[in-house]
C-alpha cells in the first residue's frame, strides 16, 4: 500500500471507505479502486436475517471482520456499534481483539444498544478514553473513530453532538463521526468544530460530490449500508416483477457472469 490507513484520513482530501459484507463484495470494491474497506453492522446483520442495532455479538462481528480482512490486502475498519458493551474496560477488550484479527481500526458509537439511548456525557467520553489508550499502546497503528449517534436517533441536538465529538477528540479519538448530517452547511460546521479528521456517511447527504465534501473539510466518506441497500433494492425490484407480473426483463441489465467472476474471484474489472 502506498499510504497507511491513517494517512488516508486527510482533511479536505477525502477517501471513500467501502463497506463490504462478504468476500465477494470486498474483492469487487478492491478491484474497482477502493483504497480501504470497512464492515457494516447493518449489512452484516441482514446477512444473518436480523435487524441492525445490537443483534450481533462481538464474537460474530469479529469473525465476520476477519473474513473481510482476509479477502484483500486493503486496510479494514470494523463498524462495531457500541463496542459490544457499556463499560470502558469492555472497550479496551474490543480494541485489543480487533487488532489481533488484523483490523486497521474500529468505530464506536455512544449508544446503549439495543435500547437506542445515548450514554451520559461523562461515560461516553470515558469509554473513548479507555479505547484510545488501548489503541495507542498496540504494537501496530490503529485508527479509532468515535461516533455521536445520539444525533441520528434524535436523542440530542447538533450542539450536543459537537460537544461530544470535541470531548472525544480530547479523549484521544483519531477521527469523529456524526451520522445523518442532512446538508453540506452542517457538514462544514462539524468539520470546523474539531481538528481531527471527520467521517461523513454518503447516504445522508444527497446530491453532494466528492469535491463538495472536500471543500467542507471532510476526510473520509463511508458508504455504510448504501451499497448493500442498493443490491437488495435491485433484487427486490426484479423479484417483484418476476413473482408479481411474470416479467423477467429486469434481468436483462445484469452484468455478465464473466465480469462478476473476474471481480469476485480475482478482484479485478474486465
Query: What pTM did the predictor assign?
Result: 0.94
Asked whether 199 and 153 are in contact (CB, 8 A), the reply is no
Asked whether 79 and 107 are in contact (CB, 8 A), the reply is yes
Nearest CA to 16 out of 8, 27, 24, 28 is that of: 8
Q: For the domain covering 5-225, report its CATH number.
A: 3.20.20.60
Give the pLDDT of residue 270: 37
Kindly report, residue by residue over 66-111, the tens digit of the pLDDT: 999 999 999 999 999 999 999 999 999 999 999 999 999 999 999 9
**% pLDDT > 90, the chain:** 86
3-class state of residue 103 by DSSP: coil
Amino acid at each position: 500500500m502506498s499510504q497507511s490507513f491513517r494517512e488516508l484520513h486527510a482533511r479536505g482530501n477525502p477517501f471513500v471507505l467501502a463497506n463490504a459484507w462478504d468476500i465477494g463484495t470486498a474483492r469487487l470494491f478492491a478491484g474497482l479502486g477502493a483504497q480501504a474497506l470497512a464492515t457494516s453492522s447493518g449489512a452484516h446483520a441482514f446477512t444473518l436475517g436480523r435487524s441492525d442495532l445490537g443483534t450481533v455479538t462481538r464474537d460474530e462481528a469479529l469473525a465476520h471482520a476477519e473474513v473481510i480482512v482476509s479477502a484483500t490486502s486493503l486496510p479494514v475498519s470494523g463498524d462495531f456499534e457500541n463496542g459490544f458493551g457499556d463499560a470502558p474496560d469492555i472497550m479496551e477488550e474490543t480494541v485489543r481483539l480487533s487488532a489481533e484479527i488484523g483490523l486497521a481500526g474500529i468505530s464506536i458509537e455512544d449508544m446503549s444498544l439495543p435500547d437506542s439511548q445515548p450514554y451520559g456525557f461523562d461515560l461516553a467520553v470515558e469509554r473513548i478514553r479507555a479505547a484510545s489508550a488501548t489503541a495507542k499502546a498496540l504494537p501496530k497503528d490503529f485508527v479509532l473513530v468515535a461516533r455521536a449517534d445520539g444525533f441520528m436517533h434524535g436523542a440530542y441536538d447538533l450542539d450536543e453532538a459537537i460537544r461530544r465529538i470535541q470531548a472525544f477528540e480530547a479523549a484521544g479519538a483519531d477521527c469523529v463521526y456524526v451520522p445523518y448530517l442532512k446538508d453540506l452547511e452542517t457538514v462544514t460546521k462539524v468539520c470546523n468544530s474539531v481538528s481531527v479528521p471527520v467521517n461523513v456517511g454518503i447516504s445522508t447527504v444527497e446530491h453532494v460530490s466528492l469535491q463538495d465534501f472536500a471543500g467542507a473539510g471532510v476526510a473520509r466518506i463511508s458508504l455504510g449500508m448504501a451499497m448493500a441497500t442498493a443490491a437488495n433494492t435491485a433484487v427486490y425490484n426484479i423479484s417483484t416483477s418476476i413473482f408479481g407480473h411474470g416479467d423477467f426483463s429486469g434481468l436483462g441489465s445484469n452484468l455478465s457472469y464473466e465480469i462478476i467472476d473476474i471481480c469476485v474471484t480475482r478482484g479485478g474489472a474486465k
